[in-house]
Amino acid sequence: MISQWNVYFLFTNHTTPPKNKFVVIVFTDPKPCGFFINTKIHPFFLNRGLAMPCMAELDHNVEKFLHHKSFVDCTKAYDFEVSGLNKLCGTLSTEAQNQIIEKVSKCPVIEAKHRTKILCEAGIQ
């Protein structure tokens, strides 16, 4: 069963070029929606001051499925097909979940409907 905070490794067309990515599911209804996990913060976000309010840092010593310090990009949530979520890597630690919730609540560019849905599913609103 797909649940909030599960991390999957999948091939996605949401990137240019399409490639394999880690994704953390942030809500599941009406369909799974998640954030990408990246190994570095793109200069676009650094140059616009969006790194601190919108990027949750993951410690690879805690999140054992990661090989490097990584960042959850909380600026945009993407829809995924259930059929593509078949390589479950693990579930984020409570600390990482709380950090994502904090970033979602403060990120100025995330769509309001996604912010509300994520916070509701996390029991915050």
**Strand partners for 33:** 27, 79
C-beta neighbour count of 87 within 10 angstroms: 12
Q: Where are the domains of the chain?
A: 6-121
**Is the confidence at residue 125, as pLDDT, over 80?**
no
Write the CB contacts of 106 (distance below 8 Å, at least 6 apart in sequence): 53, 54
**Strand partners for 19:** 12
CATH for the 6-121 domain, from 1.20.1250.20, 2.30.30.110, 3.40.50.970, 3.40.50.920: 2.30.30.110
Q: What local confidence, expressed as pLDDT, does residue 64 receive?
A: 94
Q: What local confidence, expressed as pLDDT, does residue 52 receive?
A: 82
Percent of the chain's residues with pLDDT above 90: 80
d(CA 93, CA 47): 29
What is the token pair recorded at 94?
Answer: 């409570």
